[in-house]
Amino acid sequence: IQGIVFSKEKPEIRLINAEVETEPYEISGIMKHSNYFLFRHSLKEVKSGNYYLSMKIGQEEIYRKIIAVLSFHVEKPKGFEWSDPATFRYSYVFEMAQAYLNKGDVDASLSYFNRLPESLWNATTLPVIASAFYQKQDFARVVELLEKEAVVKKYSVLLMLGNASLKIKRLPKAAEYFEQLRNYGDTAKVNRVLGAIYLSLGEREKAKVYMDRAEELEKKQK
C-alpha cells in the first residue's frame, strides 16, 4: 500500500481489521518531503479481509476508509514497475503528479509529469498525462499524446480525442473519433455532435441523418 498525506506533522497510519478484533498493523516507511509525507508498506504479512485505513495526527483521526486486502498477486502495468532502484523514485513523482491533478493544481501536476523520463511516457501513463494537458486547455498536446500508436483507444481516450479535435478545429478527425464512440453507445448526444460536425463540414445530408437519429433516440427516452 502506498500514498501521500499532505500534512506538516508526521501521521500515524494503521490498518485496523474491520471484521475481528486484532492488533492493528502499523504502517511504516513514512518519509517526509517538504509539506507532505509519502508512505509505502508491504501487505505481504497481512491476511485477506476488510480493513480500516486510519490516519491520525496527534490524537485526532483525520482519515478513515475501509479497504479490501486480497490474497492473490496482481501484476503491475509495465510502466509502473518500480522494483528497479534506479527508477523507483519515479513512482512518487507520478503519484505526486496525480495528487496535484486531483486537487486541481494543473501546473504543479505537469511539473511533476515532466520529470518522468521519456521511457515512462507510455500506454499506461499517457492518458493520465493527457488529461492534465486537457485541463490546461492545451488541446493540440492532448491530440499529440493520445494519437500515439501505443495508446489504447478506449472510451475515455476517444472522448478526449474527439473533444480536443473539436477545440482545435480538426473536424474530420473529430468526426472519426465520435463515430468510434458510437460503438460504446448510440446516444442522442453523440449523434447531435456528429450532426453539428458534418453540418460545419458542409455535408448536409449526412448531418441530417445524425440529427434525425438523435431526435429518434430522445423520443425513446421520454
Which has the closest alpha carbon to 65: 14, 99, 116?
14
Query: Is residue 219 classed exposed, middle or buried when 0-12, 13-18 and 19+ CB atoms within 10 A define those classes?
Result: exposed
At 159, the amino acid letter reads L
Least confident of 27-36, 171-180, 193-202: 27-36
Fold of 78-185: 1.25.40
- Looking only at the bridges linking them, the beta strands covering 25-26 and 60-69 are unpaired
Q: What is the C-alpha to C-alpha distance for residues 1 and 42, in angstroms, rounded to an integer?
A: 6
Share of the chain above pLDDT 70, in %: 86
Confidence of residue 39 (pLDDT cuts 50, 70, 90): confident
Question: What residues does each domain of the chain span?
Answer: 2-69, 78-185
Placement of cell 479497504 in the chain: 67
pLDDT at position 214: 92
Mean pLDDT for 170-193 is 93
Instruction: Detail the DSSP E strand segments found in the chain.
Output: 2-5, 12-17, 25-26, 30-33, 36-40, 49-57, 60-69
Same fold, 2-69 and 78-185: no
Report yes or no: 27 and 15 within 8 Å, Cβ to Cβ: yes
Q: What is the C-alpha to C-alpha distance for residues 109 and 96, in angstroms, rounded to an integer?
A: 7
119-174 pLDDT per residue, tens: 889 998 999 999 999 999 999 999 999 999 999 999 999 999 999 999 999 999 99
pTM > 0.85: yes or no: no
Mean pLDDT of the chain: 85
User: Under CATH, which architecture does the 2-69 domain have?
Assistant: Sandwich (2.60)
More reliable by pLDDT, 87 or 219: 219
